[in-house]
Structure 1
Amino acid sequence: MQKGIVLLLLHVFCDTVLAGQCEKVWVTVSSLWRPIAACDKVVDAELEINWEFDCPADTKYSDTQIKVFTADPLAAHNKMIKPELILTSLQRPRGYYRTNITVGRPPLPGGWDTKDGAALPGPHCLDYYAILYKDGHIFSMACLQIWPTWMYDMRREIGMLPIGSLMIPGTHNSGCYKHGDLTRRDAFQRYLLTQDRDVWTQLVHGIRYLDIRVGYYPSIPNGTALDEEGNHVSRFWVNHDVIRITPLSEILKDVRNFLDAARGEVVIMDFHRFPVGFEGRPNRHRKLIAILHREFEKLILKPDRGVEGLGPTLNDIWTGGKRLIICYGDKHVVNDYDWLWPPLTQVWGNQQTVEGLFEYLDEEILRSKRRKNSQNPLWAVMAELTPFPLDIFFNLSGGLRQMADSVNRNLTVKFQEEWWKETNIVATDFFLGNDLIWVSRMSNIKKSNIAQWRL
């Protein structure tokens, strides 16, 4: 009884401390775009300001305002900088504001913009800041931030957690992103693209789970993309369903470069489906696996087959030095390779409304307590909306960008307040539209504190 009371008090304490004060502000990037008159170009990636006042009911917000800056306002050389935007009269306890400040695709700070250069560990801010003031005093501050080394940065706090108990931020259809600037022509791809940053940038921001679907195209010119065993790398593509989007070689290169640069981070590559060119062709699976083994041999973490539990701890992984988990969505192929992890369970609701998705996730995340998979301790919440075929044909839902916009900001609050406790992996569309990387980091600290008191 006494231990239960201590755990309850610890849980309340963690929630209070990690939330800071009752006012919180954070910045995201909109997935929406808008056209420019008489031009093929569009405006996209606009900054969003979000706030949450988890305060007593009688708290007054009349003296509360948020100032938005495009440089660090607390830096000594920026003391005279003026805000780009001031939000006042924040009467509602929760809200967001989409600005007309375009983030675009800026260089990544801390040396992380070059994939083969020296990079600094720890978090780094891009030049977009929001400060929440109350009665003229700073109560909360946030920047648009990258977390390239967050796992190893937090090794003292979360190193003892098993990989299957961590909350891990991920992306859905990770390789389906736009190459170059967005144009009006991309309106025709409104149901194909699910991300607006390449895989390198996703990983640098803090994403650690990649959802990949691969197609094989024998008629694509071979070029010189051959591996040591003569496999044609250029014939493998990352698909969105049956449509090829990005060469697989591009994804593999980004993952390898990141693992080399961020030497304490653990990445999960989930080769979840093979929608084109693999049916009844086991030799093509073997070709793909040969490419993966050649590229990542010294980094691949083998699974503990048949061992129940939540998998190795981060400390165990760091001790062994193998930091890449490759899950493979064909159980027959997995049986032939001891370094492939069995198919990973994706909790996918096939929902078209925010209400339907949240009802589904409420039930499924609660079921996670009863979910047992001795083959693979990892599982993923696919927290995005799915269009019906008629939606795509008639554009009834406006495209994946609008669908992501309707759900992402609500996901931040739900995972922060409720779903973090049981969630393992969470994958979203247009991940910069939510704050789940930050939520994952804070949730893992809470999980670690609770786990230590249970010992």
Structure 2
Amino acid sequence: MEGPLQTSIHVCHENGQWMSRLPEKLWDIPLYNLALPGSHDTMTYCLDKNSAVSGNESKLVKFLNKCMPCIVHPIIMKWSTTQVLTVTEQLEAGVRYLDFRIAHKANDPSMNLYFVHMVYTTVTVQDILWEVLRWLETHPQEVVILACRNFDGLTKKLHCRLTACIKEIFQCKLCPRNVVPTLRTMWQRGHQLIVSYEEDVQVEEHCELWPAIPYWWGNKTATRALIHYLEHMKRMGRPEKFFVAGINLTENLRYILVHPFGSLKKMTLQSLPCLKIWIKQQYPGPKKECINIIAGDFIENNDFVKDVIELNTKINPPLHCQSKGAGTNSISFSA
């Protein structure tokens, strides 16, 4: 276990500043027309083994977990964990889209917010926001997209508290949604963070929040079925701005019963060779079948991040988008 983890963290540091190394010809292209690596369910590396099942889960799951916790809870943990690297390690690995599923624990009298994927995390949202800020401060030319999604148990008061917390922590690093988010513009203005928020009222009230980013979720247990879904979505046409193509497989009860010794990690690792081929065939850009963010599980495996970043080498912007001296910088990719 120790060897692979050390290797993953080594890879992280080598890709930690890939945006700053992009060639100048890409500095004036909106980020929603670049290829950006993302992590699906970013915070599941710190799920609480002693946590209650979240309020959004079915009554059956809650009942089984209550009656047979020694059996059911380990199964939940095996199929809920999608990442093993911390948020800082993911950012160092080159991930630039963070998928934050935010929740308030049922019957919790405090205002603390946590992350959730069937069960709650050990860390609070506020602690992780500060961690992201610390990373941004040491990587001034990197830009991160933070997607706040799937709010579980948040009242209007809690939404207001969360948005106030985001604004207080990140301040001028937040990119307002009326800005065309190119690297050059964001660098000039000191913006480093785009926050999408899956709650329309808050978005309307705060110019620092961007609307929810569409996520292409296949909800498939088989790799070929997932690729078929993604290709179908591409034929339908990409959204105008940010969107995510999720290459994450999703288990269901039948799959778990058929694979009693399985886990989401095993399921994911088996799919990666086929998905790697699909990723390498993609093109970023504004055209109908182009991609933008590609998000996956266990992002440290199979050169996922590197493969997504390298898609940007396929971009050839029009001459009027290139400044004088463009092309003098180049990006180097880490293995």
TM-score range, shorter chain: 0.7 to 0.9
Shift in CA distance, 444/176, structure 1 to aligned 2, threshold 3 Å: same
Matched residue, 1:299: 173
SS at match of 2:80: coil
CA distance in 2, matches of 1:365, 1:386: 20
Shift in CA distance, 406/451, structure 1 to aligned 2, threshold 3 Å: farther
Aligned CA RMSD, in angstroms, stands at 2.7
Structure 1 residue 334: Cα displacement: 1.1
Q: State whether structure 2 residue 251 is matched by structure 1 residue 387.
A: yes
Code of the residue aligned with 2:17 in structure 1: it is T
**Counterpart mapping for 1:401-420 below 5 A:** 401-418=265-282, 420=284
Matched residue, 1:429: 297
Shift in CA distance, 363/187, structure 1 to aligned 2, threshold 3 Å: same
> Contact between 1:176 and 1:246, CA under 8 Å: does it hold in 2?
no
SS at match of 1:403: helix
**Counterpart mapping for 1:134-145 below 5 A:** none
Specify which structure has the bigger relative contact order, considering alpha-carbon pairs within 8 angstroms and separated by 6 or more residues.
2
Q: State whether structure 2 residue 121 is matched by structure 1 residue 245.
A: yes
Which residues of structure 1 form unaligned runs of 5+? 1-43, 46-101, 109-125, 127-142, 223-231, 306-310
Equivalent pairs, count: 293
Note the alpha carbon deviations across 1:85-110, whole angstroms, 9 max, x for none.
xxxxxxxxxxxxxxxxx3234695xx
Aligned identity (percent) is 24
Q: State whether structure 2 residue 240 is matched by structure 1 residue 352.
A: no
CA distance in 2, matches of 1:391, 1:405: 16
**TM-score where L is the length of structure 2:** 0.79
Matched residue, 2:236: 367
**Counterpart mapping for 1:152-301 below 5 A:** 152-178=20-46, 189-217=77-105, 219-220=107-108, 232=111, 235-240=112-117, 242-247=118-123, 248-275=125-152, 277-278=153-154, 281-301=155-175
Structure 1 residue 186: Cα displacement: 6.0
Note the alpha carbon deviations across 1:181-234, whole angstroms, 9 max, x for none.
xxxx96651111100100000001100000111011265585xxxxxxxxx4xx
> Contact between 2:82 and 2:264, CA under 8 Å: does it hold in 1?
yes
> Contact between 1:390 and 1:396, CA under 8 Å: does it hold in 2?
no
SS at match of 1:175: helix
CA distance in 1, matches of 2:74, 2:106: 27
CA distance in 1, matches of 2:47, 2:214: 30
Matched residue, 1:322: 191
Structure 1 residue 179: Cα displacement: 7.5
Structure 1 residue 169: Cα displacement: 0.2
Code of the residue aligned with 1:358 in structure 2: it is I
SS at match of 1:195: coil
Shift in CA distance, 347/445, structure 1 to aligned 2, threshold 3 Å: same
SS at match of 1:386: coil
CA distance in 2, matches of 1:238, 1:285: 14
CA distance in 2, matches of 1:412, 1:453: 33
Structure 1 residue 450: Cα displacement: 4.3
> Contact between 2:12 and 2:94, CA under 8 Å: does it hold in 1?
no
SS at match of 2:5: coil
SS at match of 1:103: helix
Point out the structure with the larger strand share: 1
SS at match of 2:146: strand
Matched residue, 1:117: none
Point out the structure with the larger helix share: 2
CA distance in 1, matches of 2:261, 2:146: 30
Structure 1 residue 322: Cα displacement: 1.0
CA distance in 2, matches of 1:257, 1:423: 30
Code of the residue aligned with 1:189 in structure 2: it is M
Code of the residue aligned with 2:296 in structure 1: it is T
Shift in CA distance, 366/439, structure 1 to aligned 2, threshold 3 Å: farther
> Contact between 1:174 and 1:195, CA under 8 Å: does it hold in 2?
yes
> Contact between 1:215 and 1:239, CA under 8 Å: does it hold in 2?
yes
Structure 1 residue 330: Cα displacement: 1.0
Code of the residue aligned with 1:407 in structure 2: it is S
> Contact between 2:282 and 2:311, CA under 8 Å: does it hold in 1?
no
CA distance in 2, matches of 1:441, 1:106: 19
Q: Which has the larger radius of gyration?
A: 1
CA distance in 1, matches of 2:41, 2:206: 25
Shift in CA distance, 411/250, structure 1 to aligned 2, threshold 3 Å: farther
Code of the residue aligned with 1:239 in structure 2: it is V
> Contact between 1:397 and 1:403, CA under 8 Å: does it hold in 2?
no
SS at match of 1:194: coil
SS at match of 1:350: coil
Note the alpha carbon deviations across 1:59-91, whole angstroms, 9 max, x for none.
xxxxxxxxxxxxxxxxxxxxxxxxxxxxxxxxx
SS at match of 1:210: strand
**TM-score where L is the length of structure 1:** 0.59
CA distance in 2, matches of 1:454, 1:325: 23
SS at match of 1:177: helix
Structure 1 residue 389: Cα displacement: 3.2
Shift in CA distance, 423/434, structure 1 to aligned 2, threshold 3 Å: farther
CA distance in 1, matches of 2:283, 2:26: 19
